[in-house]
Amino acid sequence: MNRIKRMSGLLLGLMLSVLTVSPVLAASLQEGLEHLAERDFDAISTGVSLIAASGDEQAATLLKELQQGELYRDKSSDQIVRIVAEVDGGYRVAPVTDSSAGYEVNKRGLRKVRINNSLRSQIRSALAELELRHPDADIRKRAVGELLGQLDADSTALLTRLQAQEPDAGVREAMATALALGQLQGDDPEAQREAIKTLAGSLEPQVRNALLRVRDQSQDTELVAAADKALALIEEKARLYGFAETLFFGLSLGSVLVLAAIGLAITFGVMGVINMAHGELIMLGAYTTYVIQLLMPDQIGLSLFVAIPAAFLVSALVGIAIERGVIRFLYGRPLETLLATFGISLVLQQTVRSIFSPLNRSVATPEWMSGSLEINPLLSLTLNRLYIILFCLIVFALLFMVLRRTRLGLQVRAVSQNRAMARAMGVRSEWVDAMTFGLGSGIAGVAGVALSQLTNVGPNLGQAYIIDSFMVVVFGGVGNLWGTLVAGMSLGVANKVLEPYAGAVLAKILVLVFIILFIQKRPRGLFPQKGRAAEG
């Protein structure tokens, strides 16, 4: 009798689901809530069917709350309510149909809407159907994914029916995979062979596990051979997407190296200065990001955009001060310049420790940079690294345009190629040196903004990237932007490709050995500089 009543409730729900007139839908939802207020499980089952079939936007929320035991019947009014807050001697509740009409009741005035295992199963099916009929294709696809390996007779019939009506190719493919997985878990060898043909190459973990079970447990040699062939195709795809993921991580590391090295490439290429304080200029950019977030705690996303020009200005001004105060007196004396900038790096580190303490600081990541972009079950791209790759390319393009399309860029190129001739033509080389050092330092500050989204901000942040920055500059060619881009990306990818086989430390050593051997053959790097830098 109970089964008949539940089936009648479901049939009633399906009939109501085709109706689209809003008053009818509202009446269906209200009638369903009235059934939930009854004590009889069969009446509640009918209520679940009516709510699911109502088409109301609240239906999924109500069913989830019912499933989690969060719906109550107010004994005095017989209406379904949810608890808003706990108050002295009772609760503040609100009707599920009108959350603004809250009121207080005694604890004894409420009775939880209770459900049994049969109702839980019905609610799960109803929620699945609601999501499978959702207008958003991504939600429908996710709902199919949740059913993988858990199909029963009802859900199989539902998926089969909806697959014929599904307009989205991706969702249809997911439905076909779910249905084939259900067939594979059955007992019909012919159906299992057909299912394996459909599942061959699928990247879903449940599919791989099911194929492994068939291969290890089946006595049918033909079925085992088919499962082996399907698993081989899956493994081949897994290797391909694993390499794609490694390449992505390599490009993200390369982007960080490019951002850290590109400012150094400019100053080193134009002035021949080995700036050991370059890492600390990166650190200043990261701390600027931290301070901006402290000033804008409620606008984390906007603070990152504010931090980019702020970090550029802070690091650029510090860089100009270093050049005007120290470096300009040491041109032509590389050893003294190296020692002086190393001392400046220690001063900057201690200054930061005195202001912010030696402890690392955490910079919040905006919501739009959080999470990942899922390409398939085996490949997902983290958004923060993806944005840093794009950010690196944008910074590179802007810097390239500045050096190629502006008066400052023309003068920088003139001084880098032949300082004496540039001065003879009226170029103020001292001013160009200061602006170039400021530009390179500002780019280092911008690199600090990017690094703050990948790691904690601390006084030693820049020390981790100074050696890598010099490797990128030397490998790419001193003072050449394209060389810096190619070298940074190449070294980043090489590091990530070698790490699974050699480990992180040995991978860095191997890359360093490669660079040493490379510069034996090409001392000027991949893209050698012309003019004065080449002569040096």
pTM, two decimal places: 0.74
Q: Based on the structure, what is the number of domains in the chain?
A: 4
Q: Is residue 226 part of a domain?
A: no
pLDDT at 531: 46
Residue 227 lies in a domain: no
Same domain, 19 and 83: no
pLDDT at 511 over 90: no
212 and 170 belong to one structural domain: yes
Same domain, 174 and 278: no
Q: Same domain, yes or no, for 62 and 78?
A: no
Domain, as residue range, for 36: 1-69+117-123
User: Domain check: are 25 and 96 in the same one?
Assistant: no
Do 178 and 62 share a structural domain? no
Q: Is there a domain that residue 225 lies in?
A: no
Task: Please indicate, yes or no, if residue 235 is contained in any of the structural domains.
Answer: no
Beta bridge partners, 304, equal none
Please report whether residue 398 resides in a domain.
yes
Q: Which residues of 295-320 are buried (b: 16+ CB within 10 A; e: fewer)?
A: eeeeebeebbebbbebbbebbbebbb
Enumerate residues 6+ apart whose C-beta is below 8 A from 167. none
Query: Are 144 and 114 spatial neighbours (Cβ–Cβ below 8 Å)?
Result: no
pLDDT given at position 396: 92
Q: Is residue 462 situated within a structural domain?
A: yes
Taking only the tens place, the pLDDT of each residue in 426-462 is 777 778 888 888 888 999 999 999 999 888 899 988 8
pLDDT at 200 over 50: yes
Please, what is the angle between helix 383-405 and helix 407-417, to 10°?
Answer: 80
- Is 185 in the same domain as 331? no
Residue 81 has pLDDT above 80, yes or no: yes
293 lies in the same domain as 401: yes
- For residues 47 and 189, state if they share a domain: no
Whether 319 is covered by a domain: the verdict is yes
Q: How many CB atoms lie within 10 A of CB 135?
A: 6
Give domain status of residue 234, yes or no.
Answer: no
- Strands (E) in 96-171, as ranges, are 103-106, 110-112
Residues 332 and 465 in one domain: yes
- The mean pLDDT of the chain is 82
Q: Which ranges of 383-428 would DSSP assign to H, the alpha helix?
A: 383-405, 407-417, 419-424
Q: Same domain, yes or no, for 89 and 108?
A: yes
pLDDT at position 2:
45
- Residue 494's CATH number: 1.10.3470
For residues 84 and 189, membership in a common domain is answered with: no
Give the model confidence (pLDDT) of 8-28 as tens digits. 444 444 443 443 334 444 567
Among candidate residues 347, 312, 258, the one with its CA nearest the CA of residue 438: 312
pLDDT in tens, 116-129: 888 888 888 788 77
Q: What percent of the chain has pLDDT over 70?
A: 92
**Per-residue confidence band for 319, with pLDDT thresholds at 50, 70 and 90:** very high
